[in-house]
Chains A and B, each alone.
Chain A
Amino acid sequence: MLRGLSVGELEATDLQIATGEIVCLSGPSGCGKSRLLRAIADLEPHCGSVLLGKQAQADLPAHQWRKAVMMVPAESHWWFETVGEHFHHDQQDALRALGISPQAFEWPVARLSSGEKQRLAVLRALQYKPHALLLDEPTANLDEDSTMQVEQWLCNQIRERLLPVLWVAHREDQIQRVADRHFHIEDRRLQPRELKP
């Protein structure tokens, strides 16, 4: 998927992610995790190439690429008045699975807590049916219980939709639970880390 990709401080990186595979990425803050995701989503100028299957990033109009390789940022933004306007159709089941009130679509955006925003941002991204997912700390603002709930739901969605996923995570226990492979950014490069069986 990535071939010789380099952005900012980070040195050329090669990485391949299979369909339905979750690769976790960790590292100290400021080491370029988010920038790497942004480069893969083509939001930041970068060197090297990114491929989705046989499709090269540079050969696709940028907005089509981003619809296929969808990034969910750590801090989500909302531009309409109510929550529901950001969604194409009703998603009661998903709301329940994420532990959010079924009435949430009627709410004004200002009423959402940061944790609710974060969960809804993932849901909003998935409705575009992306072919790959880039998650930037999707559970950073959640308490223990919701984190488990969201992890479970996300992993199910990922396996079901066969999405290759690059997941930036902080907490070691989460990485152990969700990751198929784990890389840690050290000395401006991706170092593979063992997962405990």
Chain B
Amino acid sequence: MNVIDLSWWHLGIAAGLVLALAACTWLAQLKIGRSLLVAAARTAIQLALIGLVLETLFAAGSLHWVALMGIVMLLLAGREVVARQRYRLRGGWSFGIGTLSMFISAFSITVLTLVVIIGPEPWYTPQYAIPLLGMLLGNTMTGVALGLERLTEGARRARGEIEGRLMLGEHWKQASAQLRRDAMRAGLMPTINAMAAAGIVSLPGMMTGQILAGSPPALAVKYQILIMFTITAGTGFGTFAAVALCTRRLFDSRERLRLDRIVTTSRPRG
């Protein structure tokens, strides 16, 4: 498998294209030239740093370092879930619920895939473990964030209906069933759409990368299918867990809808 090496000079040409685009946006007065350049600089710096980290990690290759890396990635994903919420649970519950559900789904599915399906020796070989966990976490994060967002927003909007149902003596699970269904659907839709469009509309990034790096397309396709399925499962179970936990938190022990446990943040990201 021959890979053509890229020198920094080659990347400079690509960077020149971005600079040209920035110049054009400046001429067209789009007022996004600055954020475009900042984002481009961030890409370069962040990826260079993660490259260094991965080089070190691959060289060390011990379970401790892989596990530490995994936990750091998980915590960053948890922070990102919170940052994307317009309405979040008071007192760190959003972070806790998001992180816990990503941990349950993304971690166990990564370990399962490594041990049972791919089976590298040892199973935590960072070359397999880190990219796999990264892709699972990234997608699960999106699902969890969307699911939680729909849930808290929906609870605020459907307060009258939910309390109306509670007044008629419905159990909190019954009263919130529609809300939970909507939230889970919102979390699952992006992955379902991605699977439906794979290969027709877009060539998935990982597969493209593998082919560029010299893999035979048939093998790259197999890996891509594996990844898509594990991502779907991870996102689905993660969203299920997050929505279930968050709904539980929205009701108290007396089955009251507690919207006072939600705080509004002025400027969400994402």
Interface size, B (range): 10 to 19
* Chain A residue with the shortest CB-CB distance to B162: A77
Give chain A's interface residues, CB within 8 Å of chain B.
41-45, 61-64, 66-68, 70-73, 75-79, 124-125, 128
Task: Give A80 Cβ to nearest chain B Cβ, in Å.
Answer: 11
Does B131 have its Cβ within 8 Å of any Cβ on chain A?
no
With contacts A44-B256, A45-B256 known, is A67 near B168, CB below 8 A?
A: yes
Structural contact, A43 and B165, CB atoms closer than 8 A: no
The answer for the CA separation of A128 and B256 in the assembled complex, in Å, is: 20
**Are B165 and A79 in touch, CB under 8 angstroms?**
yes
Q: Is B254 among interface residues, defined by CB-CB distance under 8 A?
A: yes
Contact in complex: A62, B168 (CB < 8 Å): no
Residue of B nearest to A77 (CB): B164
- Seed contacts A62-B254, A77-B164, A79-B178; 11 additional CB < 8 Å A-B pairs: A45-B254, A62-B256, A63-B166, A63-B169, A66-B168, A66-B169, A70-B167, A71-B167, A78-B164, A124-B168, A125-B167
Asked if B166 and A70 make an inter-chain contact with CB atoms under 8 angstroms apart, the answer reads: no
CB within 8 Å for A70 and B168 given contacts A43-B163, A77-B161, A79-B178: yes
On chain A, the residues within 8 Å of B91 by CB distance are none
B205 within 8 Å of A (CB atoms):
no
Interface residues of B in 247-261 (CB under 8 A from A): 252, 254-257
* Complex contact A75–B256 (CB within 8 A): no
Given contacts A44-B256, A45-B256, A79-B178, A66 and B172 within 8 Å (CB-CB): no
Given known pairs A73-B164, A76-B164, the reply for A63 and B171 (CB within 8 Å) is yes
Kindly state the separation between the CA atoms of A76 and B165 in the bound complex, as whole angstroms: 10
Q: Which residue of B lies closest to A79 (CB)?
A: B161
Within 8 A of A (CB), among B135-183: 160-161, 163-172, 178
* 10 cross-chain CB contacts under 8 A: A41-B167, A61-B255, A62-B254, A63-B169, A67-B168, A68-B169, A71-B167, A73-B160, A78-B164, A79-B178
* Complex alpha-carbon distance, A68 and B169, angstroms: 8
Asked, given contacts A43-B256, A44-B256, A45-B256, whether A66 binds B164 with beta carbons under 8 Å apart, the answer is no
